[in-house]
A = this chain, B = another copy of it.
Amino acid sequence: MIIDCHGHYTTAPAALQKFRDAQIAGLKEHTDVPFDAQTPISDDQIRDSLEGAQLKLQRARGTDLTIFSPRASAMAHHIGNEITSRRWTAACNDLIYRVCELYPENFVGVCQLPQSPGVAPLNSAAELERCVTELGFIGCNLNPDPSGGHWNAPPLTDRYWYPFYEKMVELDVPAMVHVSSSCNPNFHATGAHYINADTTAFMQFLTSDLFTDFPTLRFIIPHGGGAVPYHWGRYRGLAQDMKKPLLKDYLLKNVFFDTCVYHLPGIELLLKVIPADNIIFGSEMVGAVRGIDPETGQHFDDTKRYIDALDLSDSVRYQIFEGNARKVFPRLDQRLKW
């Protein structure tokens, strides 16, 4: 089977955004807008939002199961306060749960976290636990910069984050390192902030002993690992100058890259420099780039085509499309064995 580890619910029914808009408006007026007060989203609305988009593309591209989470750019942890984030997060996660209940063959959930600038990461543990133990989710998206482009939280390797990691380890779920929209005019969200965060997180891991402290903690760095595979020589060299072990021994038991790289030469490079054990198929569909590449006549984000075009052994292909996802998301593996 072919598992896409990186899909967001970018096509959610308009009522979700309507709630968010009301919530944001309420911040100014100091009113409180519970999600339940909105017109409910019907199952048919959910079906409609997916049938012509993610489900259609799954069928067209020949992928089976998408690891599905709320829209990343809409997490916007920097808006409002912890309660704002908590309510918005619960609404988004509950909707993902409904998607996964309606289409259990097609989607499995990964949760947004109720992060908020200056709020202890431990405060996100309860929502993670709820999503995993009650809603059947298999992982989370962790935002290394809840400020939305001001980067004023401690690095991911700081003990500040450790209480949350303890919960991840306890539940045996990985996190995708994923920022949200940027309120810093320097950073375009999908063109700079996302990619920068990926690169930044990897370098934080490289300069730390995080995985000595948490040997089973696992992170997926999306968007093909940001700039990291392209600069793999730089990272190998920096690690060596710092007297660190080889990156493959030092970080690659815990750090994985998806394949959200939107052209064949990029995917070729990724497969050339990063061990196949560490690459998990992902497309970010329907996501950052929605058009058709005039050079190929195919969607930029149809990343399966790039992998299909490479001369890979069956075992490597299995790892990328299925095996690594089962390994990194053990709760997915358990579910698929049902």
Task: List A residues at the B interface (Cβ < 8 Å).
Answer: 144-145, 149-151, 153-155, 158, 184-188, 190-192, 195-196, 199-200, 203-204, 206-207, 223-224, 226-227, 229-238, 240-241, 261-263, 265-266, 268-269, 272-273, 288-291, 293-295, 300-301
Residues of B within 8 A of A261 (CB): 230-231, 233-234
Nearest to A240 among chain B residues (CB) is B291
This chain's copy number in the assembly: 2
Contact between chains at A232 and B266 (CB < 8 Å): yes
**Additional pairs, 20, CB under 8 Å, beyond known A191-B199, A236-B300:** A144-B186, A150-B150, A151-B151, A186-B204, A188-B204, A191-B203, A199-B199, A199-B227, A223-B231, A233-B289, A233-B293, A234-B261, A234-B262, A234-B263, A236-B263, A237-B289, A237-B291, A238-B289, A241-B290, A269-B269
Contact between chains at B191 and A269 (CB < 8 Å): no
Residues of B within 8 A of A268 (CB): 269
Nearest chain B CB to A82's CB is how many angstroms away?
Answer: 21
How far apart are the CA atoms of A295 and B113 in the complex, in Å?
Answer: 41
Residues of B within 8 A of A233 (CB): 261-263, 266, 289, 293, 300
Contact between chains at B262 and A237 (CB < 8 Å): yes
Could you list 8 A-B pairs, sorted by A, with CB under 8 Å? A187-B200, A188-B238, A191-B206, A223-B231, A233-B300, A236-B300, A237-B300, A265-B269
Residues of B within 8 A of A144 (CB): 186
Contact between chains at A232 and B187 (CB < 8 Å): no
Residues of B within 8 A of A188 (CB): 203-204, 206-207, 238
- A151, A229, A268, A273 pick with most chain B CB within 10 angstroms: A151
- A233, A268, A291, A293 pick with most chain B CB within 10 angstroms: A233
Nearest chain B CB to A233's CB is how many angstroms away?
Answer: 3
Residues of B within 8 A of A153 (CB): 186
Residues of B within 8 A of A241 (CB): 289-291
Residues of B within 8 A of A273 (CB): 263, 265
How far apart are the CA atoms of A236 and B273 in the complex, in Å?
Answer: 23
How far apart are the CA atoms of A206 and B192 in the complex, in Å?
Answer: 11
How far apart are the CA atoms of A18 and B321 in the complex, in Å?
Answer: 56
How far apart are the CA atoms of A325 and B223 in the complex, in Å?
Answer: 32
Nearest chain B CB to A143's CB is how many angstroms away?
Answer: 13
Contact between chains at B238 and A190 (CB < 8 Å): yes
